[in-house]
Amino acid sequence: MNIYLDIDGTLLHKDGTPANYLFEFLDYVVNNHDVYWLTTHCRGGVNCAVEHMTMRNNISPEIIALLNCVHETDWQALKAEAIDYTKDFIWLDDYIMESDENILKQHNVAQNGINVNLRENPDELKEILNWLKEKTPWHQIKSLDLESEVNL
């Protein structure tokens, strides 16, 4: 499966600190999937994603090695332009713009865009990692979460 990653708000908190479980998440996805940058820090033939991740942070050499395994994408106006719709994928982003979401809907894969909210759930990468290992559709996981909250 292809995994597309945003950085700010997804792998890094808004203050620039690394997300909880970043190493475990990257270690798993890089070694089990094809992983691509889908961020403003990698577009139009310019890739400064790793530099952005490391410039304000004390990122371990092990994480840097994993970040260097993430493939570049090229897009101009909309991130969704860079997605390969012929392959199974998920896209992790803290904010999927409506225009990008419309493209996902046109391809009948709106459920593949996953909104990450580290502010509300600092351990969301751990949840996504567990979900990837289970291979249960994400919308079913989120539905179960909502049902359990209602039944409390």
Q: How far apart are CA 50 and CA 53, in angstroms?
A: 5
Tell me what pLDDT residue 136 has: 60
Q: How far apart are CA 147 and CA 150, in angstroms?
A: 5
Tell me what pLDDT residue 150 has: 37
Question: What class does CATH assign to 2-151?
Answer: alpha beta
pLDDT digits (tens, 9 = 90+) for 72-117: 999 999 999 999 999 999 999 999 999 999 999 999 999 999 999 9
- Say whether 95 sits in a helix, a strand or coil: coil
Kindly state the percentage of the chain with pLDDT values over 90: 80
Average pLDDT score over residue span 58-77 = 94
* C-alpha neighbours within 13 Å on the C-beta side of residue 41: 19
pLDDT digits (tens, 9 = 90+) for 9-34: 999 998 989 999 999 999 999 999 99
With cut-offs at 50, 70 and 90, classify the pLDDT of residue 57. Answer: confident
Tell me what pLDDT residue 134 has: 86
pTM of the shown model: 0.88
**pLDDT over 50 (residue 146):** no
Q: Where are the domains of the chain?
A: 2-151
